[in-house]
Amino acid sequence: MTQRRQGPRSLGDLVERIAPKSLTAVQRRLIQAAAEEDQDLLFQHTVFCQTCLPYRDPGNDVRTWKRVNGSIGLQVEAGAAWNPDTVDFVQLGLPWGAKPRLILSHLNAEALRQGSPTIEVEDSLAAFVRRLKLDPKGRNFRIIKDQLSRLSAASIRLGLSRDGRAVTIKSNIVGAFDLWFPKDARQRVLWPSTVQLSQEYFDSLQNYAVPLEEAAISALAHSAMALDIYAWLAQRLHRIPVKQPQFVPWARLHEQFGLHYSRVRKFREVFLQTLRQVRAVYPAAQIGEDLDRYGQPAGITLYNSPSPVPKRWGS
């Protein structure tokens, strides 16, 4: 068996080793170079690996979304954008579904590769959509444009508890954005051509980014739940001690992933179907389903598994 060179298991681990408190210019260049070497990688913030945006459109009347998972918290507030034609603010809804997850992973990767929070998205996003085998001119792209606009206008709070310290990051994911307002009133899509991640989010991303395989993201691009499960396992499995597997009850999984399922039994059915799709692109993931003493489904057990991104970031 070929031995792989051991290395940091995630970008967050890399940063913690070289810069536990702050990043120097040299350390930032190391992170940028590492991201550039793996052009087939995408990145997600650890908070978005452990909490979820809405799966379905919550409606324009819902302006705040909050999820908590253990020591991690996420709160998203829908925003507004200035329309120079009407000389007024346009209210945009909350981001939802698979598309904002895809967009975030792309923006994160571009920012880390360029070593800059400022991203020209029009060409790069179109190329990314084509790599995911989505139609760059059809309905998928219109939805992506709309979701990017929602992400651009939304403000977030990220909460993390680490080493006895509570960290709250209050910021927009996007600090500034340029929206294109079409002259044709029938075209309602708002389209940012330039996105500038907020400095707070960009700094946090360099500390807490989790690498993901673009091929896996492409295969799962149809399902927000599948993307969330994959990111969760990618962030978690390789951190589990080898001799200490972790049991997760169905009630806890329902709380984390069952956003739109009132019955745990129905959620379990959908989750297991989706998990099979995730394991098809992450076959190294070691997961078992457990029964209680009465033979009823109790939960799943997670075992130490190689990272899905072993080339540089894991074993």
Cβ atoms within 10 Å, residue 208: 25
CA distances from 116 to 26, 36, 90, 145, 222 (A): 14, 13, 28, 22, 29
Q: Give 151's pLDDT tier (boundaries 50, 70, 90).
A: confident
> Taking residues 99-125, what's their average pLDDT?
87
- Axis-axis angle for helices 224-236, 250-257 (nearest 10): 120
DSSP letter at 4 equals P
φ, ψ at 33 (rounded to 5°): -65, -40
- The lowest-confidence range among 80-84, 139-143, 155-159, 253-257 is 139-143
Task: Compute the distance between CA of residue 237 and CA of residue 282 in angstroms, rounded to an integer.
Answer: 11
Residues with Cβ within 8 Å of 263's Cβ and at least 6 positions away in sequence, in order, are none
> Taking residues 24-32, what's their average pLDDT?
50
Residue 7, pLDDT above cutoff 50: no
Length of the chain: 315
Residue 89, pLDDT above cutoff 70: yes
Decide: 51 and 74 in contact? Cβ < 8 Å: yes
Q: Whole-structure pTM over 0.75, yes or no? A: yes
Which one of 7-11, 173-177, 237-241, 309-313 scores highest in mean pLDDT? 237-241
Q: Classify 168 as helix, strand or coil.
A: strand
Residue 138, pLDDT above cutoff 80: no
Q: Give 131's pLDDT tier (boundaries 50, 70, 90).
A: confident
Helix H or strand E encompassing 35 = helix 25-37
pLDDT value for 50: 92
Token representation of residue 268: 């379990």
Would you say the C-alpha torsion 271, 303, 99, 154 has a positive or negative sign?
Answer: positive
> Taking residues 25-53, what's their average pLDDT?
70
pLDDT value for 220: 94
